[in-house]
Structure 1
């Protein structure tokens, strides 16, 4: 395998991306408060109500406000009311949590007083992390999950938040993978979600405060990509699992479900992956995803978190004519990105239960 790392971008405009421009707009011209400040400023200058600047600015403010209200109403209709979250009472289970995104979320909640259980085959390097208890567990093994679930119940209490974060990336073409590698990839990236949900969901349903299930998927589950056939298939399955589970849980409104579909994360699991356009498809920092996941959990909401911007609109790709889809794939370089893949090197031959995505 080619282990050459892609060239780094050191130009002054390298950090710029569509997402940065959108963030600026969301706190300025696209924010209702700021939009209404503009006509108030015109009024402070004694502009008449029927002058063009006043009419345009008021129209824009009304438009932005209606969009904001529509978004809030749409979210409530789709996901219902929030559940009460008391971190002192929550027991959080995170699979694949000894590194990367999983460890970030675990450390934040541990410092904030929640009780956190990490399930991973890799040892936790910092065993003194506040509020975190490590359980060695292979999430592809149903018997191990059952044993660890009983230990967590005895040691910490009934889990109320499940974050399915464990993942592996082979980075090989289908013909270069052996059957055991395929089995391990699909078990870790897909079947483990079924095992953990089956294990921990009944306790959440019986809990007075309900619970939250976080599903870590990927934008690759929508697009597919060369050298990611196993991973893409598993993530597509995980996304479908989330949607089906959310439909089944409508009779349990106190159970919240959060789907996370990020693009490329800057974690060791994807070392060496080349991003053709960092302006359109910037590499996402794990801390940014962690903040959004933690925010949704804290608010007791169901949600769909897609980062960066293109990850929230990727469904429209399948609406394009097939010829245009092929041209788009070629221009985006999505099928060339894994050619420089290095991944996380370890003494183990399998990156079992590594962290995301």
Structure 2
């Protein structure tokens, strides 16, 4: 008798729960780019066009044949360059066997972390979640996840929980640093406690977990560290000073950790992944509107989760950035400052939190005190 399939409760969405919207709302630059990537810009498809022309007995010196062959060679060269570039940057992928991996997700009770944890739970992986939110035993058992109530901003709590994880599941080999909070306050309305709390959760937690769990990975000579940052770490935004600064720090931390692991003799099989999503449809930024659904669509957490899981299981290092603009947002910094300012005005990035009605203000008595 085969293993019993785990039954999970599911509530399917009802069509009348959502207002009717035009079909073109789903047409985005990301979708067009993805389709082109699998068609016109794909080397294999480019050579198929050449073969089709030859099947029609098109001579090699015909203009259309010359254009098709030049295009096919160009797409092939770009593809080969990309493969070589990634090989130089990240080396060979490592072998990943989920039955031998121990996965730790911080901030995995809600949002992106929850999706990743639940996928691994359904696949009977050795998965645990570190979060300040408490999860009932029955729910944890149903999801196949071990939950540890832990403030990852507290180094001592992380060290204590790490010892429990080793005893319960074994040495951690995959760390997904996802924990994050946001306080939508201007720098004048924020307090020292607000800033400290944001940095403890968004930045110091990464130091605590990496410092604690990386030694286990080095002893095992394998591992993967996932750093979840944000495109706002590149851009900054009004009323999000603490959040954007805490996420910007993760870019430098990721680069430094990569460099240090590369210098360690046991670090060849330890991979690093940087995740820099744009606005996701989570509670964190509910109500915030992007300047354009076409150019800057709101990303579903499941899309980021799929990419993270795929890269982890392929044993690769790399960067995950979505939507498309987040892959090139760093180029904004090399543009003339006047153009940068015009882009910020057009995008409405510095007005988005205010327009969504999310700006938190100090009490009047506190301001006058």
Give TM-score scaled by structure 1 length: 0.91
Alpha-carbon distance in structure 2 between the residues aligned to 1:333 and 1:72: 37
Structure 1 residue 128: Cα displacement: 2.7
Structure 1 residue 328: Cα displacement: 0.9
Structure 1 residue 122: Cα displacement: 1.1
1:254 aligns with 2:266: no
Superposed, 1:71-110 pairs within 5 Å as 71-110=82-121
1:301 aligns with 2:344: no
C-alpha contact 1:271 1:342 (8 A) present in aligned 2: no
In structure 2, the partner of 1:244 is 256
In structure 1, the partner of 2:189 is 176
Superposed, 1:253-292 pairs within 5 Å as 253-292=268-307
SS in 1 for 2:23: coil
Structure 1 residue 238: Cα displacement: 0.8
Higher relative contact order (CA 8 A, sep 6+): 1
SS in 2 for 1:334: coil
1:229 aligns with 2:228: no
In structure 1, the partner of 2:13 is none
Superposed, 1:146-185 pairs within 5 Å as 146-185=159-198
Alpha-carbon distance in structure 2 between the residues aligned to 1:84 and 1:90: 11
SS in 1 for 2:57: coil
| Superposed CA offset, 1:59-117 (max 9, x none) | 11111111111111111111111111110000000000011110111111222232101
1:195 aligns with 2:230: no
Structure 1 residue 10: Cα displacement: 2.9
Please, which moves more after superposition, 126-135 or 57-66? 126-135
Alpha-carbon distance in structure 1 between the residues aligned to 2:294 and 2:145: 37
| Superposed CA offset, 1:182-223 (max 9, x none) | 110011011110000000000000104x10000000000000
Alpha-carbon distance in structure 1 between the residues aligned to 2:350 and 2:212: 37
SS in 2 for 1:225: coil
Unaligned regions of 5+ residues in structure 2, if any? 1-18, 359-369
Structure 1 residue 9: Cα displacement: 9.3
1:310 aligns with 2:325: yes
Alpha-carbon distance in structure 2 between the residues aligned to 1:21 and 1:302: 26
1:69 aligns with 2:80: yes
Structure 1 residue 340: Cα displacement: 3.9
Alpha-carbon distance in structure 2 between the residues aligned to 1:225 and 1:10: 30
Alpha-carbon distance in structure 2 between the residues aligned to 1:322 and 1:41: 49
C-alpha contact 1:160 1:204 (8 A) present in aligned 2: yes
Alpha-carbon distance in structure 1 between the residues aligned to 2:218 and 2:296: 39
In structure 1, the partner of 2:152 is 139
| Superposed CA offset, 1:116-144 (max 9, x none) | 01000112363234431111111111121
Instruction: Classify 1:93/1:342 alpha carbon distance in 2 versus 1 (closer, same or farther; 3 Å).
Output: farther
Give TM-score scaled by structure 2 length: 0.88
1:336 aligns with 2:351: yes
SS in 2 for 1:212: strand
Larger Rg belongs to: 2
Alpha-carbon distance in structure 2 between the residues aligned to 1:173 and 1:140: 23
Partner of residue 50 from structure 1, selected from 61, 69, 77: 61
C-alpha contact 1:214 1:258 (8 A) present in aligned 2: yes
Alpha-carbon distance in structure 2 between the residues aligned to 1:328 and 1:236: 20
Unaligned regions of 5+ residues in structure 1, if any? 1-7, 344-357
C-alpha RMSD of the superposition: 1.4
C-alpha contact 1:270 1:342 (8 A) present in aligned 2: no
1:216 aligns with 2:231: no
In structure 2, the partner of 1:355 is none
Alpha-carbon distance in structure 1 between the residues aligned to 2:68 and 2:346: 39
Instruction: Classify 1:285/1:342 alpha carbon distance in 2 versus 1 (closer, same or farther; 3 Å).
Output: farther
C-alpha contact 1:107 1:129 (8 A) present in aligned 2: no
